[in-house]
Amino acid sequence: MSQPELRDEVEMLSLMLLIRRFEERASQQYQAQKIGGFCHLYIGQEAVVIGAIAATRHDDYLITAYRDHAHALGRGTSANACMAEMFGKATGCSRGLGGSMHYFDKANHMYGGHAIVGAHIPLAAGMAFASKYRGEDRVTLCFFGDGAINQGAFHEAFNLAALYKLPVIFICENNLYAMGTSVERSTSLKQIVDRAEGYEMPGFVADGMNFRDVRDKLTEVIDAIRKDPHPAFVEIRTYRYRGHSMSDPASYRTKEQLEKYRMDDPITRLRAQLTREGKLSNEQFDAMDKAAKETALASVKFAEESAELPLEELYNYTYVGADGATLARAMSTDAPPL
């Protein structure tokens, strides 16, 4: 392997560590009631998003569901802006108006953070349509869970993406459960990837606990799409170590199942691969881990010290223009009914 590729793998490992340490801190802050609303952790799934990011260009579009911390951090949104968003602070990546499930970062081509299951899949088709229409060779990466594949929006988007040959990769993060419902209980197919056949779309499976497998499969898919625009479907098999959200004790699955996946941890695996190949020392790994922990801790301090969004900004950026006048008037008890 050449030197630049080697550096990249170590850098990707450090991003996976940052995601893990950031979310461990977020979990602690949630329990301390510093974070309101919902909070879904990606711990265990890090190689999915980082493998995909390693295979793509920074200007490729990315869109995802509500389990979105890793997608933003992987794309380059700062830990400070991510933590502050959960704290509802003005310095957050969505000005504190979105919270954990609605991270946005246009500069890093990260278009959300969407809480309605499956609703962003047609948006991804639209983004891919726009890049094809403009003659750009950008690819859209659209992540969603196994719970989204039976939604109408999924099928509508797949049909149009195939019909118009849109440059989009639909990535199903199959972590075996949608809240407490297992894939076997919700889906008629034995293999999720077979959904692609109904739309004559190429379908691929990748091992989401293995960074290199995800990166290599996606590299192949992306190369083909850049040469000749078309959609593709990739089922990435993975597992979340934590419950669906912070309030889920995950009693619907066994300790043995959880242990099996924890033994196959994506960070431990990539570390072992690099160490075995003489590309990473224990000292280097420890230094990277220490830096990730420090960044996560510093993000909590930053979020705590950041100012709240002024109250008059509350109605902005939703249904009306930046001044928020229309909705603010409608919300006022003094205002005549609209």
Instruction: Characterize the bridge pairing of strands 203-207 and 232-237.
Output: parallel
Instruction: Characterize the bridge pairing of strands 177-178 and 181-182.
Output: antiparallel
Binding mask 55-94 for ligand TPP (x = CB under 6 A): ------------x---------------------------
Question: Which listed residue (145, 167, 231, 324) binds Mg ion by CB under 5 A?
Answer: 145
Nearest C-alpha neighbor of 23 from the set 62, 88, 75, 67: 67
Contact between 175 and Mg ion per CB under 5 A: yes
Question: Which listed residue (98, 145, 203, 266) binds ligand TPP by CB under 6 A?
Answer: 145
**Shortest Cβ distance from residue 93 to Mg ion (Å)?**
24
Q: Which helix (H) or strand (E) holds 131?
A: helix 120-133
**Shortest Cβ distance from residue 330 to ligand TPP (Å)?**
26
Question: Which listed residue (69, 132, 215, 244) binds ligand TPP by CB under 6 A?
Answer: 244
Contact between 146 and Mg ion per CB under 5 A: yes
From the list Mg ion, ligand TPP, none, pick the one residue 103 interacts with, judged by a Cβ distance below 5 to 8 Å according to partner type: none
- Side-chain-side CA neighbours of residue 110 (13 Å): 28
Other beta carbons within 10 angstroms of residue 70's beta carbon come to 28
Nearer to ligand TPP, 163 or 189 (CB): 189
Token look-up 């499930």 returns 101
Question: Which listed residue (107, 163, 179, 325) binds ligand TPP by CB under 6 A?
Answer: 179
From the list ligand TPP, Mg ion, none, pick the one residue 116 interacts with, judged by a Cβ distance below 5 to 8 Å according to partner type: ligand TPP
Contact between 178 and ligand TPP per CB under 6 A: yes
Is residue 79 within 8 Å of 69, Cβ to Cβ? no
From the list Mg ion, ligand TPP, none, pick the one residue 158 interacts with, judged by a Cβ distance below 5 to 8 Å according to partner type: none
Is residue 165 within 8 Å of 231, Cβ to Cβ? yes
Distance CA 56, CA 205 (A): 18
Nearer to ligand TPP, 108 or 187 (CB): 187
Binding residues for ligand TPP, total number by CB under 6 A: 14
Give me 12's structure tokens. 């990707």
**Shortest Cβ distance from residue 67 to Mg ion (Å)?**
8
Distance CA 19, CA 15 (A): 6
Contacts of 41 (CB under 8 A, 6+ apart): 23, 26, 27, 67, 69, 240, 242, 246
> Rule CB under 5 A: which residues touch Mg ion?
145-146, 175, 178
> Rule CB under 6 A: which residues touch ligand TPP?
67, 115-117, 145-148, 173, 175, 177-179, 244
